[in-house]
Amino acid sequence: MDPAIALHARGALTDAELEGLHAAAFDHEPGTTPWGRRLTDHSLTWVTARHDGRLVGFVNVVGDGGVHAILLDTCVAPDVQGRGVGRALVAAAVEQARAAGCHWVHADYEPHLVAFYEDACGLRPTAAGLVRLT
Ligand SMILES: CC(C)(COP(=O)(O)OP(=O)(O)OC[C@H]1O[C@@H](n2cnc3c(N)ncnc32)[C@H](O)[C@@H]1OP(=O)(O)O)[C@@H](O)C(=O)NCCC(=O)NCCS
């Protein structure tokens, strides 16, 4: 990864900068998601990536209070993608979950991200299920 990009576990961020990053990466209109409150209230940890102070990457790690952790909202700014930031974010998140005593890190992803999560990040495929509630 570009050495100018710094990763921080539980890194400080504002709601507006994470919403902007998320909207750019997932291609949606920015909203008013209360990220800071969600993270402090519900996350085991999270990892930020910054380049010259700009938030360019993020991954959220939600825990069950036991041995399971789930990766959510992995994202890298479109103009910074393909430079190893996503892989480094997931590796840091896995190490944070390990340090917190977790035994398992879960993620679900669409088929086009198999190369990222499995080949680049080392997750192994498993059967999983999902129910859409809305
Ligand atoms: C998925 C994402 C986080 C990857 O971040 P990144 O910094 O571009 O990834 P890396 O540079 O660390 O890529 C590592 C490897 O993963 C693979 N990869 C990365 N992004 C990929 C993508 N979008 N599709 C398929 N493979 C991908 C590549 O094989 C790459 O290997 P290479 O370095 O030999 O080219 C980023 O593309 C992103 O933010 N996408 C939009 C949001 C999203 O879909 N997030 C996932 C939610 S489950």
- Domains in the chain: how many in total? 1
R_g (Cα) of the chain, nearest Å: 14
Specify if 131 maps to a domain.
no
In this prediction, what percent of the chain has a pLDDT beyond 90?
A: 98
The closest residue, in CA terms, to atom 20 on ligand 1 is 116
Token code pair at residue 130: 């999902």
Whether 128 maps to a domain, the answer reads no
Place 90 in a pLDDT band, splitting at 50, 70 and 90.
very high
Could you tell me how many residues make up the chain? 134
Q: What is the pTM (predicted TM-score) of this model?
A: 0.96
Whole-number pLDDT of residue 1: 83
Query: According to the model, what pLDDT value does residue 2 have?
Result: 86
Q: Name the closest-CA residue to atom 27, ligand 1.
A: 116
Are 103 and 67 contacting, i.e. CB atoms less than 8 angstroms apart? yes
Q: Please report whether residue 74 resides in a domain.
A: yes
- If one residue of 109, 116, 119, 130 were mutated to test the ligand 1 pocket, choosing by the most ligand atoms within 8 A of its CB, it would be 116
**Distance between Cα 81 and ligand 1 center (Å):** 7
- Alpha helices for 27-107 (secondary structure H): 35-42, 85-99
> Is there a domain that residue 129 lies in?
no
In a domain, 43, yes or no: yes
Across the chain, mean pLDDT equals 97
Give the number of other CB atoms < 10 A from CB of residue 18. 23
Neighbours of 2 (CB within 10 A): 13
pLDDT at 80 over 90: yes
Decide if 67 is inside a domain. yes
Mean pLDDT score, 68-97: 98
CATH value at residue 25: 3.40.630.30
Please give the residue range of the domain that contains residue 99. Answer: 5-120
For the cut 90, the answer to whether the pLDDT of residue 97 exceeds it is yes
Q: 86 CA to middle of ligand 1, Å?
A: 6
Residue 115 lies in a domain: yes
Residue 84 maps to a domain: yes
Cβ–Cβ < 8 Å for 21, 77: yes
